């Protein structure tokens, strides 16, 4: 296997904010004492007057962002996914979703690959929490390149949005030219195939690419979709994949309840599509401290597990 | 102390009675809503919209406008009545409060009601929202003022104090908060439910400029607004000593009227009392 080029999606976020900051004077950024980790510090250094340090007070940060948006600002509010969603659910519900505020929540440290900080910091419910809110767009970019493009699309499209990335470095999947075709609400066909469809988001796209290669060697031709937008879901694409391959497996670093897998299950069931279907994700439990790769192995979210699940699903 | 034209005070007092009548009428029709906290908030809201704020109902999105955020969203009947009387929408619309297929929701929503700045109703958000508006004003070097009204019970909420710290940290002197200090919340006296005193010391210790007035006295209200608008380098809070249910004798200081509308008999009695006050003011 050729060596992968790694990049941190968090850096891509910070760098893109700086780039957008020049183009959009109304873009402002808020953080809750985690700017060094979320990388909003890059923006803070370049545009100190447009950066608002809110301290360890996330509820205040979200509602303040809504106030800024009401005056025509484009606020990006950042912190870890645990603090950016569950902790401030009511503020997001009323001040952003109900109010249709043009606020962008950009969360880092989503999923269990946060690692040693343990379950308190491993956010596996955020996509479900945000997806259930009317008016919310929910995003989970998969690599640094896509993260940059998604941040740009968040800034240029109206409405409340939530995006989450992981903590760790991630292999670069896309080149800059390919990424220009990214649209909110449109899944990306990473690899075409005919035997089964793997639909992954965020940190699970890269292991799914590896899994696909392994499966191909074993005579299984899987197609792979990067579903960076979980809401609004690209239902047309899901239906097309179901009809084409008759088997769908979803993979996300999130609870199997209410996230990408849940959204796709709803679409398949409501369209009466007779497919073999399986959700890969955290199986309704809290995880634990540990090295990211050990956690992903223990809780069933790596290349090996994708390969096994695909073979189980299609009985091969 | 400023000397106001006596006519301004009279006009505001009269409008306040008018708004109270709207509130009673609206809640009686809707058969639900919050009379107590709406009536205690009326005078400040009337003073803001009819004598103090720079606003234009024909241009509700004017970027230069002063903003009023009603954080205690359950008092919105008072604000709806004031907005209607100011021309943001028709007075006739007030009849449809809390009705299906109608604009005026039980609690404020900003996405489609002209003049409503923030969606509130879940307590504790409004001051943070106002901070955002004030920060934007500073950033744009815009001269507008931001006003936000909280209930006294509302300040039990932790978010209020996150916001209080931030407003002081960012020296938001374009922001004035009001505490509708009527000493009553749903479960009883604020001091028994969750002690708030000394409210003045709390705000002061968070770095705020604190003023305390009779929240039903128009002259004191206008004086306090003029004073806090000109106070620099600190956010201001005006503690409004008010009476829950103000203007309707049997609702005054009666916590049972926090979230219960008047029945027919109570409606008639309330309107009679308010008519009487109105006649007196009209001389």
Please report which confidence band the pLDDT of residue B45 belongs to, taking 50, 70 and 90 as the band edges: very high
Is residue A144 a part of any domain in this protein?
A: yes
Instruction: Identify the domain containing residue A275 by its residue range.
Output: 185-313
Instruction: Round the CA-based radius of gyration of chain B to a whole number and report it.
Output: 18
pLDDT given for residue B5 in this prediction: 81
Q: Cβ contact (<8 Å) for B111 and A98?
A: yes
Residues A228 and A131 in one domain: no
What is the sign of the dihedral through the CA atoms of A81, A86, A88 and A92?
Answer: positive
pLDDT per residue as tens digits for the range A225-276: 999 999 999 999 999 999 999 999 999 999 999 999 999 999 999 999 999 9
Is residue A192 a part of any domain in this protein?
A: yes
Average of per-residue pLDDT across B214-234: 97
Q: What is the percent of chain B where pLDDT is above 70? A: 99
Q: Does B128 touch chain A (CB under 8 A)?
A: yes
Mutation site for B-interface testing, chosen from A24, A51, A57, A60 by largest number of B Cβ within 10 Å: A60
How many Cα atoms are found within 13 Å in the side-chain-facing hemisphere of B118? 39
If we measure between CA atoms, which residue out of A79, A82, A125, A128 comes closest to residue A105?
A79
Q: Does A62 touch chain B (CB under 8 A)?
A: yes
Q: Does A49 touch chain B (CB under 8 A)?
A: yes
CB pairs under 8 A between A and B: 104
Catalytic residue among A49, A53, A58, A125: A58
Q: Which two tokens stand for residue B116?
A: 């409503």
| Residue A303 annotated in active site | no
Is residue B1 a part of any domain in this protein?
A: no
Instruction: Identify the domain containing residue B247 by its residue range.
Output: 6-282
Residues A127 and A25 in one domain: yes
Residues whose CB falls within 8 Å of the CB of residue B261, separated by 6 or more in sequence, listed in order = B27, B28, B30, B31, B32, B33, B35
Number of domains in chain B: 1
Residues A152 and A209 in one domain: no
pLDDT given for residue B3 in this prediction: 67
Is the Cβ–Cβ distance between A153 and A16 less than 8 Å? Answer: no
pLDDT given for residue B36 in this prediction: 96
Average of per-residue pLDDT across A28-41: 98
Which chain B residue has the Cα nearest residue A74? Answer: B136
Nearest by CB: A60 against B121, B139, B166: B166
Q: Does A67 touch chain B (CB under 8 A)?
A: yes
Residues A145 and A203 in one domain: no
Is residue B277 a part of any domain in this protein?
A: yes
Is the Cβ–Cβ distance between A213 and A306 less than 8 Å? Answer: no
- Rounded distance, CA A276 to CA A245, Å? 9
Residues A138 and A225 in one domain: no
Q: What is the percent of chain A where pLDDT is above 90? A: 97
pLDDT given for residue B1 in this prediction: 54
Number of helical (H) and strand (E) elements in chain B, helices listed first: 9, 7
ipTM > 0.90 for the complex: yes
pLDDT given for residue A1 in this prediction: 47
Q: Where residue A15 sits, what CATH number does that domain have?
A: 3.40.50.970
Name residue, tokens 């109703």.
Answer: B121
Residue B263 has pLDDT above 50, yes or no: yes
Is residue A1 a part of any domain in this protein?
A: no
Q: For residue B118, list chain A residues with Cβ-Cβ distance below 8 A.
A: 66-67, 70, 95, 99
Question: What is the Cα B102 distance to its own chain's centre?
Answer: 23
pLDDT per residue as tens digits for the range B92-105: 999 999 999 999 99
pLDDT per residue as tens digits for the range B67-118: 999 999 999 999 999 999 999 999 999 999 999 999 999 999 999 999 999 9
Q: Does B110 touch chain A (CB under 8 A)?
A: yes
- Rounded distance, CA A310 to CA B120, Å? 48
Distance from CA of A178 to the nearest CA of B (A): 37
Is residue A176 a part of any domain in this protein?
A: no
């Amino acid at each position: 296997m050729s060596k992968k080029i790694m990049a941190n999606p968090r850096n891509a976020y910070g760098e893109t904010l700086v780039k957008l900051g020049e183009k959009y004077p109304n873009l402002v950024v808020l953080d809750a004492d985690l700017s060094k980790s979320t990388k909003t510090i890059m923006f803070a250094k370049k545009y100190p007057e447009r950066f608002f340090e809110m301290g360890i007070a996330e509820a205040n940060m979200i509602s303040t962002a809504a106030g800024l948006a009401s005056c025509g600002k484009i606020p990006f509010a950042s912190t870890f996914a645990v603090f950016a969603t569950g902790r401030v659910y009511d503020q997001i519900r009323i001040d952003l979703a109900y109010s249709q505020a043009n606020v962008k929540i950009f969360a880092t440290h989503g999923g269990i690959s946060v690692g040693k900080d343990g379950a308190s910091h491993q956010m596996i419910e955020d996509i479900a929490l945000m997806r259930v809110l009317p008016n919310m767009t929910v995003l989970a970019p998969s690599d640094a390149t896509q993260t940059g493009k998604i941040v740009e699309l968040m800034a240029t499209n109206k409405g409340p949005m939530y995006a989450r990335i992981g903590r760790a470095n991630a292999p670069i999947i896309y080149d800059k030219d390919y990424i220009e075709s990214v649209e909110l609400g449109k899944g990306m066909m990473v690899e075409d195939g005919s035997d089964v469809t793997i639909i992954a988001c965020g940190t699970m796209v890269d292991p799914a690419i590896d899994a696909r290669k392994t499966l191909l060697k074993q005579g299984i031709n899987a197609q792979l979709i990067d579903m960076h937008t979980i809401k609004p879901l690209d239902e047309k694409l899901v239906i097309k994949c179901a009809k084409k391959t008759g088997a769908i497996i979803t993979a996300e670093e999130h609870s199997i309840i209410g996230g990408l897998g849940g959204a796709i299950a709803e679409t398949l069931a409501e369209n009466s599509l007779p497919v073999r279907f399986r959700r890969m994700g955290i199986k309704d439990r809290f995880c634990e401290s540990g090295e990211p790769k050990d956690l992903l192995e223990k809780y069933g979210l790596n290349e090996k597990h994708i390969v096994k699940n695909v073979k189980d699903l299609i009985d091969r | 102390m400023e000397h106001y034209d006596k006519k301004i005070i009279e006009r505001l007092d009269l409008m306040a009675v008018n708004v109270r009548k709207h509130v009673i009428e609206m809640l009686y029709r809707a058969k639900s809503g919050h009379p107590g906290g709406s009536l205690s908030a009326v005078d400040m809201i009337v003073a803001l919209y009819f004598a103090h704020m720079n606003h234009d109902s024909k241009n509700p999105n004017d970027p230069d406008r002063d903003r009023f955020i009603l954080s205690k969203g359950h008092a919105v009947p008072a604000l709806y009545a004031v907005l209607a009387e100011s021309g943001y929408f028709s007075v006739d619309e007030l009849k449809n409060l809390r009705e299906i297929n109608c604009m005026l929701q039980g609690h404020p929503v900003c996405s489609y009601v002209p003049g409503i700045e923030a969606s509130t109703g879940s307590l504790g958000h409004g001051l943070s929202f106002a901070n955002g508006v004030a920060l934007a004003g500073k950033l744009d070097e815009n001269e507008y003022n931001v006003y936000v009204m909280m209930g006294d019970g509302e300040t039990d909420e932790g978010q209020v104090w996150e916001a209080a710290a931030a407003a002081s940290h960012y020296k938001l002197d374009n922001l004035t908060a009001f505490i509708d200090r009527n000493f009553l919340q749903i479960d009883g006296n604020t001091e028994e439910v969750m002690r708030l005193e000394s409210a003045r010391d709390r705000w002061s210790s968070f770095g705020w400029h604190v003023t305390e007035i009779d929240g039903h006295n128009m002259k004191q209200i206008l004086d306090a607004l003029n004073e806090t608008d000109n106070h620099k380098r600190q956010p201001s809070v005006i503690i409004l000593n008010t009476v829950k249910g103000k203007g309707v004798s049997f609702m005054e200081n009666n916590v049972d009227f926090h979230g219960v509308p008047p029945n027919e008999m109570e409606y008639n009695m309330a309107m009679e009392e308010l008519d009487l006050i109105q006649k007196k003011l009209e001389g």
